[in-house]
């Protein structure tokens, strides 16, 4: 966890209302850090449904495997999250640690181990001493509170510089429902998700299969459209829990239920807000970069090109140096392996077109573009002129601080 807050941190942090059926607490278990909370326990009322999407890494962490296996039941009574140790690449020891953690939590609150969901973030390859959870689990269960989202978001931070929270409300039928979410993530961020943990809670009454459908749909243009450094983690986890405690809420069985129209928008808003906060907290970041690619042969092609630009160290360092070097953008478009035509290509920094039809824009003004590049938020648009495909991704610049943070991470 960095001591200096990112200059891109949100200026407004929302009040986070309680979600009926969700209570939380944090504790210092000494997993890796000293003098700060590093364990989160969230308790859910009986009947709470669960959904999740996870890393695409072929080397997933032990908690990711645990959650995938237990999602089948669709039921959740608790979530245990620790920071400081990812419990990844830890072999049989890691699997034993997840089982012991779940057993400790299940015995404490009186439920089945497969109703306990787990997530870990931190250093890869070091065994997690799950016995450290035992001394704090009962005190956690005894001290849970419904208005604890800010503290919960702080407890799961690693190299993050600020806790990430978001909330929204919607109506399902005549019932008002609330959504609250927390996230962590600042580096090793690349689709599909990354060393990113996010947990979303709602009092809506939604079945597990419907919840899964909503989450899969919502992640595509939010968390899966964010990259910090192009590196996909072993551990990324996005889970959603629905308690069904909202008064008068109809029970929803299908993600396609038309009653969910407003809820889908509210969920997207929460996921998009959290995803942008992750981009704003990129390790060492000084500039938030929004990249739009349009005129591609398909949306999928536009996504690949946008990610090629967003993950280019040369593009990211140019923006860190406040240099509108569109030549590096051309390079990133060309290497993406997607249909493109140099002589149809146009590029904008901010609202200023700098390149058009394969050459520098005739009206290019260095002073105007330089002023645009000094802003903390940079908008970069590429028009390919090949079709109707469009996509948008978020990233940040690449600075010396990124190297320092990652060079010192295990020190």
Question: pLDDT for 356-402, tens place per residue?
Answer: 998 999 999 999 999 999 999 999 999 999 999 999 999 999 888 87
Contact 205, 242 (CB under 8 A): yes
Residue positions in the annotated binding site? 158, 184, 195, 283, 406, 411
Q: What crossing angle do the helices spanning 208-219 and 261-280 adopt, rounded to 10°?
A: 50
- CATH code for the domain defined by 288-407: 3.10.20.340
- Both tokens of 217, joined, read 């749909």
How many beta carbons lie within 10 A of that of residue 342, not counting itself? Answer: 11
Q: Which of 284, 285, 309, 283 is nearest to 393 (CA)?
A: 309
List the catalytic residue out of 195, 232, 395, 399. 195
Residues in the chain: 411
**Per-residue pLDDT tens digits for 310-339:** 999 999 999 999 999 999 999 999 999 999
Is the confidence at residue 405, as pLDDT, over 80? no
What is the rounded CA–CA span in Å between residue 297 and residue 331? Answer: 19
Beta strands 237-242; 197-202: pairing state: parallel
Residue positions in the annotated binding site for substrate? 158, 184, 195, 283, 406, 411
What is the rounded CA–CA span in Å between residue 24 and residue 37? Answer: 13
Reply yes or no on whether 195 is catalytic: yes
Q: Where are the domains of the chain?
A: 22-280, 288-407
What is the rounded CA–CA span in Å between residue 244 and residue 51? Answer: 14
Is the confidence at residue 404, as pLDDT, over 90? no
Is the confidence at residue 2, as pLDDT, over 70? no
Instruction: With cut-offs at 50, 70 and 90, classify the pLDDT of residue 187.
Output: low
Contact 116, 105 (CB under 8 A): yes
Is the confidence at residue 30, as pLDDT, over 70? yes
DSSP calls for 174-188? TEEEEEEEEEE-SSS
Contacts of 359 by beta carbon, 8 Å cutoff, 6+ apart: none
Q: Which of 165, 252, 184 is nearest to 214 (CA)?
A: 252
Instruction: With cut-offs at 50, 70 and 90, classify the pLDDT of residue 3.
Output: low
**E strand or H helix at 96, and its extent?**
helix 91-109
DSSP calls for 245-302? -STTPPPB--TT-GGGHHHHHHHHHHHHHHHHHHHHT-TT---EEEEEEEEESSHHHH
pTM for the model:
0.91
Q: Which of 29, 46, 48 is nearest to 120 (CA)?
A: 29
**Per-residue pLDDT tens digits for 79-115:** 999 988 889 888 999 999 999 999 999 999 999 999 9
Task: Assign a CATH topology to domain 22-280.
Answer: 3.60.70
Is the confidence at residue 411, as pLDDT, over 90? no
What is the share, in percent, of the chain residues with pLDDT greater than 90? 77
Contact 195, 121 (CB under 8 A): yes
């Amino acid at each position: 966890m960095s001591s200096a807050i990112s200059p891109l941190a949100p200026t407004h942090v929302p009040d986070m209302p309680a979600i009926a059926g969700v209570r939380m607490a944090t504790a210092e278990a000494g997993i890796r850090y000293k003098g700060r909370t590093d364990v989160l326990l969230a308790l859910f009322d009986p009947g709470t449904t669960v959904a999740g999407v996870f890393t695409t890494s072929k080397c997933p962490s032990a908690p990711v495997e645990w959650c995938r296996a237990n999602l089948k039941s669709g039921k959740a009574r608790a979530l245990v999250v620790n920071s400081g140790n990812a419990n990844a690449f830890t072999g049989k020891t890691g699997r034993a640690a997840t089982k012991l953690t779940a057993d400790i939590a299940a015995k404490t609150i009186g439920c089945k181990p497969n109703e306990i969901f787990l997530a870990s973030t931190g250093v890869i390859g070091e065994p997690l001493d799950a016995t450290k959870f035992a001394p704090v689990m009962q005190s956690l269960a005894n001290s849970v509170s419904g208005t604890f989202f800010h503290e919960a978001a702080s407890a799961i931070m690693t190299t993050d510089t600020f806790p990430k929270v978001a909330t929204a409300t919607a109506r399902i039928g005549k019932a008002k429902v609330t959504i609250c979410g927390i996230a962590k993530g600042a580096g090793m961020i690349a689709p599909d998700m990354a060393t990113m943990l996010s947990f979303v809670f709602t009092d809506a009454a939604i079945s597990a299969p419907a919840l899964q459908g909503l989450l899969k749909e919502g992640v595509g243009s939010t968390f899966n459209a964010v990259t910090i450094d192009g590196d996909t983690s072993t551990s990324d986890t996005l889970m959603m829990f629905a308690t069904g405690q909202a008064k008068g809420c109809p029970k929803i069985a299908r993600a396609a239920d038309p009653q969910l129209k407003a809820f889908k928008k509210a969920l997207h808003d929460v996921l998009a807000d959290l995803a942008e906060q992750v981009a704003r907290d990129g390790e060492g970041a000084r500039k938030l970069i929004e990249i739009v690619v349009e005129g591609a042969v398909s949306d999928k092609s536009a996504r690949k090109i946008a990610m090629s630009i967003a993950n280019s160290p040369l593009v990211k360092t140019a923006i860190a140096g406040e240099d509108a070097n569109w030549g590096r953008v051309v390079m990133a478009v060309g290497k993406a392996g997607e249909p493109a035509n140099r002589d149809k290509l146009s590029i904008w920094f901010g609202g200023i077109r700098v390149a058009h039809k394969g050459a520098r824009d005739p009206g290019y003004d260095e002073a105007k573009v330089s002023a645009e590049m000094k802003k903390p938020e940079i908008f970069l648009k590429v028009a390919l002129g090949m079709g109707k495909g469009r996509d948008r991704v978020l990233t940040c610049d690449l600075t010396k601080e990124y190297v320092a943070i990652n060079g010192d991470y295990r020190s």
